[in-house]
């Protein structure tokens, strides 16, 4: 696959399967590199700094915002998340395409700043299946699940702002559609 140093943005509700799809895409496409976001939240079990996220303190994040070091940043689920220019440039300097898993706020910021970015929204087959996926994770209390479902309702309202919408009905189907989009646009 020929690369032009593109930026591919993947968004969708929590539980839509974004990370799973990204890992499959990277396994199938050696020109894709996952762009590691920066966050102020604590690592979850099994997450490692520099592999899953760059975990930093809130003040350090704010300093980076003040110094315009982020292509995009937002407060999501009460924590700060951002994509640094440095991380995107690192990937593009390798001659690779950056694939990002970010929220809608960040995706729309990137759309305004980097018009060549390809925005893809991952949609669950239904809200019932989304809730089932969140429950199967077993990582969050009922209150958090309900909050994520309310947020998912809001996020779904913005899917029309993306270049492409992919329904994650099965991993194989969704990966095939994503690969087709990437091969056509990258």
The pLDDT of residue 40: 97
- For 84-105, what is each residue's pLDDT tens digit? 999 999 999 999 999 999 988 8
Least confident range from 2-11, 80-89, 148-157, 176-185: namely: 2-11
Over residues 42-67, the mean pLDDT reads: 94
**Cα separation, 115 vs 98, whole angstroms:** 14
Q: What is the mean pLDDT of the chain?
A: 91
Sketch out the chain's domains with CATH numbers.
7-185 (3.40.50.300)
pLDDT of 2 reads 38
Report the pLDDT averaged over residues 59-68.
97
Output the pLDDT for position 4.
56
145 pLDDT more than 60: yes
Global pTM reads 0.87
């Amino acid at each position: 696959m020929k690369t032009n140093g593109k930026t591919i943005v993947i968004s969708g509700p929590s539980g839509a399967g974004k990370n799973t799809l990204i890992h499959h895409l990277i396994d199938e496409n050696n020109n894709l590199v996952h762009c590691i976001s920066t966050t102020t939240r604590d690592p979850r079990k099994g997450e490692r700094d520099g592999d899953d996220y760059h975990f930093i303190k809130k003040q350090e994040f704010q300093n980076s915002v003040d110094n315009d070091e982020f292509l995009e940043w937002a407060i999501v689920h009460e924590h700060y998340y951002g994509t640094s220019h440095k991380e995107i440039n690192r990937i593009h300097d390798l001659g690779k395409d950056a694939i990002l898993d970010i929220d809608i706020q960040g995706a729309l910021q990137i759309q305004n700043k980097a018009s060549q970015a390809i925005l893809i929204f991952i949609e669950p087959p239904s809200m019932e299946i989304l809730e089932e996926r969140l429950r199967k994770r077993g990582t969050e209390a009922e209150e958090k699940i309900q909050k994520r479902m309310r947020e998912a309702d809001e996020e779904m309202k913005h899917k029309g702002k993306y270049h492409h919408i992919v329904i994650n009905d099965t991993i194989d189907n969704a990966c095939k559609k994503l690969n087709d989009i990437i091969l056509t646009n990258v």
